[in-house]
Amino acid sequence: MEGSTVAADNILPLISFKLGNEEYAVDIIKVHEINRIPEIATVPNSEDYIEGVVNLRGKIIPVVNLRKKFGMPEWDTDDRSRIIIMDLQGIMMGILVDSVAEVLRIPPDIMEPAPEIASSISKKFIKGIAQLDERLAILIDIDRLMEES
């Protein structure tokens, strides 16, 4: 997998999260921390998917609402909602998700390329799809996704 961190045993370590009924995953090496949702200050005249900014121990971190970024219906945050703070090419950024599911350790051989179908997330942002027992996890190229922001 291009751009992913692969452990010595050739396993992809990922953090999975939910947006609606879909499960997504990002490379764990990008994740700095996972937090409950603090007060988010809105930023006037920003893109609609920019939820605002948060103060994280004196650092101002922009927060992207992935539901809005993916064109999904609005969702009221609840006690399971989280902000995943990520280091994206040296820039700290938060992504707002419905819930964080788990840490996954995926063998690269169960990853398949994204199928040629329309989806709420462009295929160019999908690194692959993993079949995990009875569910699928969509691996997002978070750097590429945020570059377009």
* Dihedral of alpha carbons 71, 72, 76, 78, sign: negative
Residue 6 lies in a domain: no
d(CA 94, CA 49): 12
CATH number at residue 27: 2.40.50.180
Per residue in 73-90, pLDDT (tens digit) is 988 899 999 999 999 888
pLDDT reported for residue 9: 66
Give a yes or no: residue 1 inside a domain.
Answer: no
Q: What is the phi-psi region of residue 73: left when phi exceeds 0, alpha when psi lies from -120 to 50, beta otherwise?
A: beta
Per-residue pLDDT, 111: 84
Does residue 130 lie within any of the structural domains? yes
In a domain, 3, yes or no: no
Tokens of 122: 């462009």
Q: Find residue 65's DSSP bridge partners.
A: 96
| Residue 17 belongs to some domain of the structure | yes
Residue 31 within a domain: yes
pTM of the full structure: 0.84
Domains identified in the chain, total number: 1
Q: Which amino acid is at 57?
A: R
Per the structure, the complete domain to which residue 88 belongs is given by 12-147
Residues 6+ apart with CB under 8 A from 61: 53, 54, 55, 85, 92, 93, 94
22-35 pLDDT, tens digit each:
999 999 999 999 99
CA nearest to 16, candidates 91, 97, 76: 97
Query: Is residue 20 a part of any domain in this protein?
Result: yes
**Rounded Cα–Cα distance for residues 129 and 136 (Å):** 7
pLDDT digits (tens, 9 = 90+) for 5-61: 544 468 889 999 999 999 999 999 999 999 999 999 999 999 999 999 999 999 999
